[in-house]
Structure 1
């Protein structure tokens, strides 16, 4: 319904506030819609929210879907301290808004009211809606800063990421059907499902957490994580491995963690202790459960440089028999540095040792990760890239027979992540990750290569 072309008889009892004559207080005043809108604005500017509320209700009689009337009513409720009613009216204003300006105004008001009413999670939702309709980049940046502040104050956190990627090797299969150990071929061929199979991999990674306690120096968080991966083989893979099912290559991981963090040393320095319990399923069957304890330390050496160190101990309990149980100790050391022109570089070293009665699980591994992120957009894209080099050594390994000298794997992988921040929705922008790499091994079953393109979404703030 058009405000400009409609009129209505609006009985506004609050208009008596404009006239000291007690007789006039009992009279109704007929206003056109434009006049009522103008009067509502004057009432709000004149700090007379009760009158503005009366006018807004009259406007809603004429048009229950009027975004303007719902917005006026929300503002009036806010001025009168009626936060809950104000939030509901602002939500209706957003629902019925027919342009970005109205949607931005309604979402921004709803965000302020939900924050004042003590609902930080809803505030984050409304801030994202405001970002989606922000009229200028400067306002969008301010809303992003507001979002970060609310996120810090919110004891509850929830994140979900996911993606779909075509891959040349969804099962980490071998590059060749020939079984070769230390350069010597052996009778027999690898099964189709043991060779590299192509298809599509879909993943969902959800984390929910709650801050149990927080002071200026300490913080306690409880969190849970669920990671799900599913695979769809292409027709070529079904031809190569007709016995293979998509569900054979699925994986599910779940854990619950308790984390205690401390502010330590100079500004920006911290330490943490984390305990986790979880389970892992492979191919639809439970594979193992685990317990993990980790400690970490971070030093902020300067405004542009930080160093971190972490160590974990993990005990895995096989679903089959204790013979396949394992203990893993890992250590990771890393550093991040921001260059003078804004780009960022990172380096990390990861050392891991696994002990198990099953010799094929017992190993020592080391990897090096290098990363580079560009501060400025390259055309429409924000780009970061990484390179990972790794070696895994098995002192003893059984494959048909005991492999002389054990098994050694050497991995090289590179990845490039591209995000398009200008094509976003509510602060979530599409991203593409290109990943390519190869693992070389003295046992051909573990000679693998992969190229994948992952499509997903990332939060801009």
Structure 2
């Protein structure tokens, strides 16, 4: 009994007949009518496979189209079409066929193969970023875990090949201090017999903070020893005040604490042989409370040093110029100096140390300051239970020599001392397409001789990040 058959036109007829003679010498039902050869549907896929092996993609594509006329959801026919289009040097059409094969595939193995083929065709079509997306999709359908390292290695190669680099981070964090507000209602200044009252929105307001951080870069030029990139960033913060916060500051709105920052820049990196030398410059625009806040311009230089096979040091300097939209604030010029050391221990754990010094100058007295920050970080190589752990502790000292509150000058200037710490949990076993959920616990406390700046915050942040 004949099943509805797939037609093949005169184009490639001789090749088809050759394949038919090789594969189906005694198959009943094969016939030639009106310049077309018709074969049973159950034989068409096998002939198409042989045609691909024999380097006859036109024939394979015709057979795949015939199969799809019968069933547009035939994943295997889409897969054959994608492979034929790859041989025909039509990678973008092939990638679309592979995507349809992935969509209609019924088993994990079929989806893995289709995603891998779509990644290959995306790369052939000079769409390396899209190839990365398809490699991530293939991670969802690994035949077994032995394939994971190979797929991740391929992804890292694509990351180096692609001129584009895109990163996105999102987090949701309950916090007891969304606005960096004071611990209490009183305004006290050490050395002055004056007591004031702080408004509700100057005190700590609790609630929920959501943040997103999108970064991208585009390689403009490069070689084995240098690379120049266009860089960009968009950071956004939104909050939702708790009922307690609304009672404390009834006039405050969620939008009052919205923050947005948009930045564009250039980055140039040169390989010096024993470490990278980096130059960068950028310009940014910020909004606070949905109103224009400031322009920010930066220029910096950084130098990495390879101290050993397992340790490195990075030194950097950065100049910043801030121009505020408020007429009450004069521009601020800041110089930052930084040193970061990192090392991999024999256990596989990693340790990091850092120190940053900064100094700001401005015609606005309250903006003149100096600051020192130090930190110690540690990351465990082996997971603890379901999560990989890393942590950081540190402290900072900030001084404002000419600080005043209204018409009252703070004796000796304002001085803020802060301690901070965080623990990060990365749940690797909950990996989804190379993305893992994270949980970060953060605490910080600031003591100041101006009580408005006595603050503390404890927050718990839920996020998602790439695992490689």
TM-score, normalised to structure 1's length? 0.93
Matched, 1:457 2:464: yes
Question: Runs of 5+ in structure 1 lacking a partner?
Answer: 1-5
Quote the Cα distance in structure 1 between the aligned partners of 2:90 and 2:97.
11
Q: Deviations over 1:9-57 (max 9, x none)?
A: 2334553233579x96956344143x33333333334444333223222
Within a 5 Å distance, the mapping from 1:434-449 to structure 2 comes to 434-449=441-456
Quote the Cα distance in structure 1 between the aligned partners of 2:316 and 2:41.
70
Q: Deviations over 1:177-231 (max 9, x none)?
A: 1222227663331111000000111111111221111122221111121111111
CA contact (8 A) 1:350 1:367 kept: yes
CA contact (8 A) 1:203 1:227 kept: yes
Residue of structure 2 equivalent to 1:261: 269
CA contact (8 A) 2:188 2:196 kept: no
Residue of structure 2 equivalent to 1:391: 397
Quote the Cα distance in structure 2 between the aligned partners of 1:51 and 1:285.
63
Q: Does the residue aligned with 1:28 lie in a helix, a strand or coil?
A: strand
Quote the Cα distance in structure 1 between the aligned partners of 2:191 and 2:179.
24
Within a 5 Å distance, the mapping from 1:37-436 to structure 2 comes to 37-182=45-190, 186-266=194-274, 269-321=275-327, 324-400=330-406, 401-436=408-443
Aligned with 1:28 (options 19, 37, 41): 37
Cα distance, 1:51–1:412 mapped onto 2, change above 3 Å: same
Q: Deviations over 1:345-400 (max 9, x none)?
A: 10110101111122211111001111111112222212111112111011121125
Residue of structure 2 equivalent to 1:3: none
Q: Which runs of 4+ in 1 moved over 4 A?
A: 23-27
Quote the Cα distance in structure 2 between the aligned partners of 1:19 and 1:396.
92
CA contact (8 A) 1:431 1:458 kept: yes
Quote the Cα distance in structure 1 between the aligned partners of 2:145 and 2:380.
20
Q: Does the residue aligned with 2:7 lie in a helix, a strand or coil?
A: coil
Residue of structure 2 equivalent to 1:8: 4
Q: Does the residue aligned with 1:238 lie in a helix, a strand or coil?
A: helix
Task: Give 1:146 deviation, angstroms.
Answer: 0.9
Quote the Cα distance in structure 2 between the aligned partners of 1:384 and 1:65.
47
Quote the Cα distance in structure 2 between the aligned partners of 1:31 and 1:337.
65
Task: Give 1:423 deviation, angstroms.
Answer: 1.5
Quote the Cα distance in structure 1 between the aligned partners of 2:321 and 2:36.
81
Q: Does the residue aligned with 1:64 lie in a helix, a strand or coil?
A: coil
Task: Give 1:99 deviation, angstroms.
Answer: 2.5
Q: Does the residue aligned with 1:315 lie in a helix, a strand or coil?
A: strand
Quote the Cα distance in structure 1 between the aligned partners of 2:438 and 2:432.
12
Residue of structure 1 equivalent to 2:28: none
Question: Runs of 5+ in structure 2 lacking a partner?
Answer: 26-30
CA contact (8 A) 1:259 1:272 kept: yes
CA contact (8 A) 2:123 2:131 kept: yes
Quote the Cα distance in structure 1 between the aligned partners of 2:187 and 2:89.
76
Of 212-221 and 47-56, the range deviating more from structure 2: 47-56
Quote the Cα distance in structure 2 between the aligned partners of 1:223 and 1:440.
37
Q: Does the residue aligned with 1:122 lie in a helix, a strand or coil?
A: helix
Q: Does the residue aligned with 1:84 lie in a helix, a strand or coil?
A: helix
CA contact (8 A) 2:446 2:455 kept: yes
Aligned length: 453
Quote the Cα distance in structure 2 between the aligned partners of 1:87 and 1:364.
56
